[in-house]
Amino acid sequence: MLSEKEPIEVSDSAKFHLLEFAKWSKVSFYLIMSLISSAIVFIIFGLKPMLNVIKENKDEMELEIDASVLNLLDNNSNIFYITIIFVLVVLGIIAFLITRLLFKSAKNIQLSFKNNDDSYLLEGMNYLKLYLMISAILSGIGIFFTLITFLIK
Amino acid sequence: MENLSNNKMQFDFRFYQTLMSIVQWSKIVGILGIADGIISLMKAIVIDKSAIAVAVIQLILYGVLYGYLYWGGQQLGKGLNNQDPSLVGEGFSGFKVYMQIQTVILMLAALVIVLAFLFITILTIVKA
């Protein structure tokens, strides 16, 4: 039984690594957020000029462009851009919600050390558990679709 | 480190359930991450040979990244089962390194976006 186990003293090195983990988790969260926002800005302002440049110079650039991409380049309608922006925004919101769990975990770990209160640490660990659980489910779904496309081709 | 010594903390029964779940899920995420890298490489070999180099780099990065997560989970689990605080510390160091590598990968991705932006800006100016 887990509840019958003796309590383990948290060593100084474990505390140090936990605090470092929390620090890097926060950095990671801020980076993901800036990456998502810059990707959205890039798609809104940069995709159309980039596709136009590729379309005009596809012979000079000697690019081996797939027929479906060429078709998209020829008919680069607004629906195409709006769809890409919409998908990116939805993915961004999902990524924000997931990484927010990591951020909350880091915040609670730091608070537990600041206030010398291990209930914050427990809350932080619960958020970390949730983050890992959702990451596992999402990467499982990702692998499933990769395998499906791989097997179909 | 002196401040940390003043902070008396222990993982009692309230923590065990959560920590054991963290151990399990970190191992699962680790295995799935490495599997993802391997499948991408297989896909590149079978379908698109030009993507092999990228797939190999991806596999190496994923191997190190998720390898540390898996190792961290394993050490934490061993530490909890054997009541060994040093192994628990090692487990958390694995998680720390995982997060550090993830940060570096994210920084590289941000760099790629900045470079793409620069490329488009320069091309647009040259064409104009």
3-state secondary structure labels for all residues of chain A? CHHHCCCEECCHHHHHHHHHHHHHHHHHHHHHHHHHHHHHHHHHHHHHHHHHHHHHCCCCCCCCCCHHHHHHHHCCCHHHHHHHHHHHHHHHHHHHHHHHHHHHHHHHHHHHHHHCCHHHHHHHHHHHHHHHHHHHHHHHHHHHHHHHHHHHC
Cross-chain CB nearest to B85 (options A5, A14, A113): A14
Residues on chain A touching B8 (C-beta within 8 angstroms): 116
**Per residue in A86-111, pLDDT tens?**
888 898 899 899 999 999 999 999 99
Q: Which of the pair, A9 or A59, is modelled with greater confidence? A: A9
The answer to whether the Cβ–Cβ distance between A10 and B25 falls below 8 Å is: no
Is the Cβ pair A10, B88 closer than 8 Å? yes
Q: What is the mean pLDDT of chain B?
A: 89
Q: Which residues of chain A are within 8 Å of residue B17 when distances are taken between CB atoms?
A: 2
B-chain residue closest to A40, CA distance: B113
ipTM of the complex: 0.88
Task: Please give, rounded to a whole number of angstroms, the shortest distance from the CA of A12 to a CA of chain B.
Answer: 6
Question: Would you state the pLDDT for residue A106?
Answer: 95
Distance between CA atoms of A49 and A33, rounded to whole angstroms? 25
Over the stretch A2-13, which tens digit does the pLDDT of each residue have? 556 778 888 888
Nearest to B4, CA basis, from B70, B78, B92, B81: B92
CB distance A31–B26 less than 8 Å? Answer: no
Going by C-alpha positions, the residue among A8, A47, A51, A32 that lies closest to residue A106 is A32
In this complex, do B21 and A15 lie within 8 Å of one another by their Cβ atoms? no
Q: Which of A14-23, A37-46, A56-65, B111-120 has the lowest mean pLDDT?
A: A56-65
Which of A 41-100 lie inside 8 A of B, CB atoms?
42, 46, 49-50, 53, 56
Q: State the residue for tokens 């054997």.
A: B82
| Residue B28 CB coordination number (10 Å) | 20
Which residues lie across from A8 on neighbouring strands?
Answer: B11
pLDDT at res. B25: 96
Could you read off the pLDDT of B43-99 as tens digits, one per residue? 889 888 888 999 999 999 999 999 999 999 999 999 999 988 899 999 999 999 999
* A21/B96 Cβ within 8 A: yes
**From the CB of residue B31, how many other CB atoms can be counted at a distance below 10 Å?**
16
Give the rounded percent of residues in chain B with a pLDDT score beyond 90: 55
* A 117-136: CB under 8 A from B: 118, 121-122, 125-126, 128-129, 132-133, 135-136
Put simply, the answer to whether B9 touches A25 (Cβ < 8 Å) is no
Q: 10 Å Cβ neighbour count for B95?
A: 26
Residues of B in contact with A27 (CB under 8 A): 103
A37 touches chain B (CB under 8 A): no
> Which residues on B lie below 8 Å from A135 (Cβ)?
25, 29
C-alpha dist (Å) from residue A18 to A61, A112, B62, B100: 50, 11, 22, 13
A5: closest chain B residue by CA: B13
Q: Does residue A63 have a pLDDT over 70?
A: no
Contact criterion met (CB < 8 Å) for A8 and B83: yes
Closest residue on chain A to B9 (Cα): A10
